[in-house]
Amino acid sequence: SQKIEQNSEALNIQEGKTATLTCNYTNYSPAYLQWYRQDPGRGPVFLLLIRENEKEKRKERLKVTFDTTLKQSLFHITASQPADSATYLCALHKGNAGNMLTFGGGTRLMVKP
């Protein structure tokens, strides 16, 4: 079965710096991969989706890369702000009819002013 690894330790960075979060997976290459933000006591909020034939995707201060050779996705937040502090989840989709996502454990990001 697919195993997804995200750094379970919190990532602490200074405001204004670039935060980089890692998502590694084993086994099959997903058809696409999604990144979500989750705040305590709230449901995940969709951020970006990247497909297996895409190397990079950007949205405002966010950038996602997808390397199917390394079996890795990187999620970058540039010019980070304290409001970016949250848990970030990556989720993989196999591309089958079940349409299910498999989630990583999430990485907690803390941006200090």
Partner 1 sequence: GAVVSQHPSWVICKSGTSVKIECRSLDFQATTMFWYRQFPKQSLMLMATSNEGSKATYEQGVEKDKFLINHASLTLSTLTVTSAHPEDSSFYICSAREQSTDTQYFGPGTRLTVL
Enumerate binding residues for partner 1 (CB under 8 A). 32, 34, 36, 41-46, 49, 89, 91, 93, 98-101, 103-106
Nearer to partner 1, 82 or 105 (CB): 105
The dihedrals phi and psi of 59, each to the nearest 5 degrees, come to -155, 105
CB 82 within 8 A of CB 15: yes
What whole-number distance in Å separates Cα of residue 81 and Cα of residue 62? 12
Please report how close the Cβ of residue 16 comes to partner 1 at its closest, in angstroms. Answer: 27
Looking at beta carbons only, is 2 or 14 nearer to partner 1?
A: 2
